[in-house]
Amino acid sequence: MNIKLLVDGGAMKPGPALSQKLGPAGIPINKVIDKVNSSTQAFNGMQVPVNIVVDLKTKSFEVNVFSPPVSGLLKREAGIQAGSGLQKKIKVGNLSIEQVIFVAKSKMPNLLCNDLKTAVKTVIGSCVSLGILVENMNPVEVEKMVDEGKFDKEIKEEKAEASPEKKKLIKEFFENLKSEQDKRLKAEAEQKEAAAAAAAAAASTPATTATTPATGTAATAKPAEKSPAKPAKK
């Protein structure tokens, strides 16, 4: 029997979906959960695909852990919970090429790529959709650089860890960028609020009566003056 689940790495809890399948089979649920949690501890805080293979005859089980999705690994590397909803306008993270290579190596068996360089390009493509910069640049530009061979040395060496100095520069660049983004978003929000307030004020102001230029008093229509009737000629 195969049981496929998507669990919280290192934090799986008992649930009806599991108990209904393992209970009748006589498999101790707590032991299964402990095994799953120990096997997924490295992916703490992430959703992890797990396949539990149960031998009904021997009452034994095996836990197979699969690597989380590329997006999940990238979010962990960037230290974020979610991607950007406005990828072209708002960036939510900044990764080094080494971090991209690490994710590409981790997902290599699932990406159906012939080599690591192709896998790196695939991962960079996911950075585009998440709103994550790579090497302080738009991922689209970095992908072109990969094609041009600018990162062949790092990819060939499978370098998956940036130097402390580079990590610091990557972090500082994004902190400055985020500060500018926050200022721009705040200014845009204030402009929208001001425009909405002005529109509301205009809508609530009653129509004013036209005034005469000389006195500023309300102009009223005067009845037409009648000329005195002329006596009829004899």
Question: What global pTM score does this model have?
Answer: 0.69
143 and 171 co-located in one domain: yes
Same-domain check for residues 75 and 159: yes
The residue length of the chain stands at 234
Q: Is residue 189 part of a domain?
A: no
- The yes-or-no verdict on residue 102 having pLDDT over 50 is yes
60 and 79 assigned to the same domain: no
Indicate whether 8 and 51 sit together in one domain. yes
Residue range 187-196, pLDDT digits in tens: 988 989 899 8
CA 234 – CA 230 distance, rounded (Å): 12
Paired with 133 in beta bridges are 94
Is residue 59 one of the residues assigned to a domain?
Answer: yes
Q: pLDDT per residue over 152-183, tens digit each?
A: 999 999 999 999 999 999 999 999 999 999 99
Per-residue pLDDT tens digits for 13-35: 888 778 887 878 788 888 889 99
Beta carbons of 110 and 67 less than 8 angstroms apart: yes
Among 184, 187, 84, residue whose Cα is nearest residue 130: 84
> Which of 144, 161, 184 finishes a domain?
184
Residue 153: give the domain boundaries. 70-184
Q: Per the domain annotation, does 191 fall within a domain?
A: no
Sign of the dihedral through C-alpha 128, 134, 136, 142: negative
Q: How far is CA 133 from the centre of its chain?
A: 12
Q: Tens digit of pLDDT for each residue in 66-92?
A: 878 899 899 999 999 889 888 888 999
**Residue that has been written with the tokens 């002329």 in this structure:** 230
Are residues 96 and 27 part of one domain? no
